[in-house]
Structure 1
Amino acid sequence: MKGKKILYIVSIILCLILLAYVAYPALTDGIDSVNTKRLLKGLLTLGALVAGFLKIWGRDSRPGGNRAHYERVFAEIIGRAFSDDKRKYDKLIDAIMYFGDSSYSKAIKILDNLYKKACRLTADYEAVMLFLGLSYSDSGNIHEAIEIYEALLNRAPYNVMALSNLGFLYKNMGDYDRAQRLLENAISVDSSYVYAYNNLAGVYYRKGEYEEALKYVDKTIELKPGLESAYSCAALCHKALGHTDEAEKYCKLYAVNGGDGKALANLLSTI
């Protein structure tokens, strides 16, 4: 960033020098003394410098980070979206990078424009709507996220991620029956989709059905060992059932896998 700032300053100085080069004869000797070739050459050079400066500025306004990294991490969601249109595909990746940087308003602006004007194929629509839903939910706009996921499911009723994400949102809103239906549908669509099991374990925990919750926790850990939220749910369920040793074991596993073990231990002490 420091190097680009220096480049901006140098570009401005060069523009001013060229402007002076073009304008000086007219200011000192009058407009009739201006050499036409010199004027045209100076204006063309000035225009090229301004265009280069604007190009650098535009590049700097794009999201930071490694594009290939985001393409790799979110490859499953991106799928074949905009595979026939590189310009629109690049816009989608820009939005994903803004989402990754927590610049949700910028991501939503790009995604909303793609949704309204650019989605020809179902693959385009699914990728844009999934990231739009994620951007709304992560920015705290839960009702907007729900509307997006429901609209997506109207067109693509078997989109497992939309089913699971929508179930997760309804779980957090306390609508456990609707959440459970959505998550069970997600599992029926894709029995290997780990986050549906994890979210369904959370639903059963909230409902006080701890033994049932543990069944889905075990399946989650089987599919994705190291998913920290599964260990926290296991610890909470075991503590609620009076299995203190098991609760402590899963609390330690939660910490080993990146969770805040101290915070979870404090929570367990209140149960």
Structure 2
Amino acid sequence: MEKKSILILTLGTSLLFGCSPTTLLPIDLMYDSEKVEAYYENGEFEEALAYVDERIEKYPRDASLHGERGYLLLELGRADEALDSLDKSLELDPALESALSNKSWALNELGRFEEAIDFAKEAINIKPDGDMEYINMGNALSAMDRDQEALTYYEEALKINPNSEYAFYGKGVANYYIGEYKAALEAFNKYNKLIPGDIDALWYLMYTHDGIGNFEEVVAYSNQIIALDPSQIDAYYYKGSVLVDLNKLEEAVNVYDTVIEKFPESPSGYYGKSRTLMYMEQKEEALKLLAKTIEIDPNYGDWAYEDPMFYNLIEDDAFLEIIGY
């Protein structure tokens, strides 16, 4: 999740004297904000990081530069390294709000949610009108299954920034997990308009429609996910199971045949087709596919034993032998 960048104030001390920075430093020592902004706009975070590293060599005690480095490392998915840079930034300037906020983000990424909450609180105290500060708090609370509390922070972020895509996403997640499906749909739909094609959001939209019982919508969103990423095997399986619920059994069989063709080493296609054939009262073929499933992954034996689709076979010797009971 993208977070805000950190404002660079490398030349702040010269500005205190009312002087133009260009009259005080050679051009090669100047921070080129336009270059960095271009890197960010193009998603060229490695290039931006290299530039900031050059600056840190010249200004090793500039807290904002270390904070900027931490932000870039987070964008690159290197949370451990980012945390080191953010700690250095806060060692030099303990009240640097952007570093506090991004440290909360880093701690969330590392699963250290209680600590993330502490730093989010500090960031909110310093900057109570920043949406990302509240989003970081909400993310930590949601990760700890404290979704009702998280919801208040996402809503606060939306008061500050009514178009905050990540607040909509977080709110959707929190609403979903407390069972407020209509509110979740509204939030995810707003996020999807701002960030179209996000597969994680499409999964949540699919789950939420499933929770409401809008099964045709579930199929539609599974199709979107598959179209965006044909390797999403779980989307095929989910689609197949919903088609069974809709009593579209031949369509479900076709979906599972596709899974078997595309992912022959995965048990899910064989298992899904086996369940569907049981529903269609084709027991012998269903058991053959179930045997193939368990040959690939024996854990499916326990699942089959608990699966309502196989309840009629609970005392069937052939079934019990296949699942290992």
Cα distance, 1:71 vs structure 2: 4.2
Letter in 1 for 2:132: M
Which residues of 2 match residues 63-78 of structure 1 at below 5 A?
71-72=40-41, 73=43
The CA deviation at 1:174 is 1.8
Contact 2:98–2:123 (Cα < 8 Å) also in 1: no
Given that 2:120 and 2:133 are in contact with CA atoms closer than 8 Å, whether structure 1 keeps it comes out as yes
Under a length normalisation based on structure 1, what TM-score does the superposition of the two structures give? 0.61
Residue equivalent to 2:171: 200
Q: Is the 8 A contact 1:163 1:186 kept in 2?
A: yes
What's 1:35 paired with? none
Quote how far apart the aligned CAs of 1:260 are. 6.0
Match of 1:95 in 2: 70
Q: 1:168 — aligned with what? A: 139
Instruction: Quickly say closer, same or farther: Cα 1:97–1:246, change in 2 above 3 A.
Output: same
Unaligned runs of at least 5 residues, structure 1: 1-66, 79-84
1:53-106 CA-to-partner distances (Å, cap 9, x unmatched) read xxxxxxxxxxxxxx878644499xx9xxxxxx9832443343334334544333
Where in structure 2 are the equivalents of 1:110-121 lying within 5 Å?
110-118=85-93
The aligned residue for residue 138 of structure 1 is: 109
Equivalenced residues, count: 194
Whether the 8 Å contact between 1:238 and 1:247 is mirrored in structure 2 is: yes
- Relative to the length of structure 2, the TM-score reads 0.52
Q: Please say if 1:216 is aligned against 2:191.
A: no
2:79 aligned to 104, 120, 131, which one? Answer: 104
- TM-superposed deviation, 1:165: 2.2
Which structure dedicates a bigger proportion of its chain to helix?
1
Q: Which residue matches 2:201?
A: 230
SS of residue in 2 equivalent to 1:157: coil
> Retained in 1: the 8 A contact 2:181–2:208?
yes
Distance 1:104 1:217, change over 3 A: closer
* Percent identical residues: 19
Structure 2 CA distance for partners of 1:109 and 1:189, relative to 1, 3 Å: same
Take 2:85 and 2:183, find their aligned partners in 1: how far apart are those partners? 42
Cα deviation, residue 202, structure 1: 1.0
CA displacement 1:164-198 (0-9 Å, x = unmatched): 12112212212122111111111111001011111
Could you say what the CA RMSD is over the residues aligned between the two structures, in angstroms? Answer: 3.2
Closer, same or farther: CA 135–204 of 1 in aligned 2, 3 Å: same
Q: How far, CA to CA, are the matches of 1:209 and 1:129 in structure 2?
A: 32
Deviation at 1:227, TM superposition (A): 2.4
**Preserved contact between residue 226 and residue 236 of structure 2 (Cα < 8 Å):** no
What amino acid sits opposite 1:129 in the alignment? L
1:23 matched to which residue of 2?
none
8 A Cα contact 2:101 2:136, kept in partner: no
Task: Give the partner amino acid of 1:96.
Answer: Y
Evaluate the alpha carbon distance shift between residue 264 and residue 141 of structure 1 in structure 2; reply closer, same or farther with a 3 A threshold.
farther
The 3 A distance-change label for structure 1 pair 219 and 106 is closer
> For structure 2, which runs of at least 5 residues remain unmatched after alignment?
1-35, 49-55, 246-325
Cα pair distance change 1:70/1:133, threshold 3 Å: farther
Q: CA deviation at 1:258?
A: 4.9
Q: Which whole-Å CA distance do the structure 2 matches of 1:126 and 1:260 have between them? A: 41
CA distance in 2, matches of 1:187, 1:220: 12
SS at match of 1:214: helix
Whether 2:212 is the aligned partner of 1:241: answer: yes
* Mapped partners of 1:255, 1:188: distance in 2: 35
Aligned equivalents of 1:146 and 1:74: distance in 2? 30
For the 8 Å contact 1:96–1:131, the answer to whether it is kept is yes
Shift of 1:152: 0.6
